[in-house]
């Protein structure tokens, strides 16, 4: 069981007056969940997540060109990729559909949707990050529907009303500075009867918790809090339902989806993953020995989930599905 709490963050909190470190100490503790080893959300999570969101919502997840390429190599392939077909399934994407993938990143969901929509369909991928769109455009086509890649904000879509059969958004909603507006935009561009499927993390997750704990140990609680904020600020089930209702999705449903995720050897993967985030420069500034210790420490913390040359661990995400009336 992954019972280990983020005690190192709590200890470090005692030696700092940083407000973010205070939030970190209050929010980054997780218990095991029955026999699955999944971190629970704690009571009061919503309020703490909103505070973290307020601290981070004006800090866009912008990546350099090199980091965006690493994002495709590490995050899209291993962390998000296994979920992509499930999200496309949840939206019921079918032959001939016109599909919008919001916060598309390097396009892992859009490419799956293109295969499902077939040559008679079409896909549009939108992301605020120019580096992500550049990488998405550079990747070879997967077949099926054509994909148009657009750099732009999910809060102000330059797309016509009622123009899509399905809207997808994988792990993007929590990054929107105005989630309610983002949902309203999704509703606006859906055709009557169009389907929405979006996902947000259900908890910090075993791997991210281990990385956050390790960042607190080797760099500091401020970095750990920033790293984990993207997980903690994801809306709760109740918040998702309220957002959907207010955006005129009256029949929205939220369920928890679970799969096992496999990552390759962590002493290498962790550093590649962090190089694909806004923390890349922090990691690069460390000496070689410390960088090696970060990867090795995460591997040690997840040794219970060792599988072959890497780890296989359970992961959870919330999936919201709805139809436009």
Instruction: Decide if pLDDT at 40 tops 70.
Output: no
Instruction: Decide if pLDDT at 25 tops 60.
Output: no
pLDDT digits (tens, 9 = 90+) for 268-323: 999 999 999 989 999 999 999 999 999 999 999 999 999 999 999 999 999 999 99
Terminal CA-CA length for the chain: 44
Rounded distance, CA 215 to CA 177, Å? 26
Helix 221-232 with 45-56: angle, nearest 10 deg: 110
Per-residue pLDDT, 61: 54
What are the structural domains, with CATH classification, of the chain?
A: 7-323 (3.40.50.150)
- Per the CB < 8 A criterion, the answer to whether 24 and 8 are in contact is no
Rounded distance, CA 222 to CA 231, Å? 15
Instruction: Decide if pLDDT at 198 tops 70.
Output: yes
pLDDT digits (tens, 9 = 90+) for 158-170: 999 999 999 999 9
pLDDT digits (tens, 9 = 90+) for 245-282: 999 999 999 999 999 999 999 999 999 999 999 899 99
* Residue 325 pLDDT level (bands cut at 50, 70, 90): confident
């Amino acid at each position: 069981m992954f019972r280990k709490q983020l005690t190192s963050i709590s200890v470090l909190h005692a030696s700092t007056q940083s407000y973010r470190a205070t939030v970190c100490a209050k929010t980054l503790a997780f218990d095991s969940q029955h026999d699955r080893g999944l971190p629970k959300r704690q009571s009061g999570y919503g309020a703490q997540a909103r505070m973290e969101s307020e601290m981070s919502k004006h800090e866009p997840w912008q990546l350099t060109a090199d980091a965006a390429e690493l994002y495709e190599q590490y995050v899209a392939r291993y962390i998000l990729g296994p979920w992509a077909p499930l999200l496309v399934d949840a939206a019921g994407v079918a032959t001939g559909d016109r599909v919008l993938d919001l916060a598309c990143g390097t396009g892992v969901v859009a490419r799956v949707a293109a295969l499902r929509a077939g040559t008679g369909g079409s896909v549009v991928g939108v992301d605020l990050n120019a580096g992500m769109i550049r990488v998405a455009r550079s990747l070879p086509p997967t077949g099926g529907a054509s994909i148009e890649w657009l750099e732009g904000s999910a809060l102000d879509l330059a797309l016509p009303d009622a123009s899509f059969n399905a809207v997808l958004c994988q792990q993007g909603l929590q990054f929107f500075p105005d989630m309610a507006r983002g949902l309203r935009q999704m509703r606006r561009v859906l055709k009557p009867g169009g389907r929405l499927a979006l996902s947000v993390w259900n908890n910090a997750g075993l791997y991210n918790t281990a990385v956050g704990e390790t960042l607190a140990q080797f760099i500091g609680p401020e970095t750990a809090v920033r790293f984990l904020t993207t997980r903690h600020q994801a809306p709760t089930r109740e918040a998702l339902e309220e957002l959907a209702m207010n955006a005129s999705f009256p029949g929205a449903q939220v369920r928890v989806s679970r799969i096992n995720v496999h990552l390759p050897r962590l002493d290498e993967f962790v550093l590649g993953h962090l190089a694909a985030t806004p923390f890349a420069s922090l990691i690069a500034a460390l000496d070689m020995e410390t960088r090696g210790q970060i990867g090795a420490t995460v591997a040690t913390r997840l040794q219970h989930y060792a599988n072959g040359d890497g780890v296989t661990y359970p992961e959870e995400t919330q999936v919201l599905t709805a139809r436009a009336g």
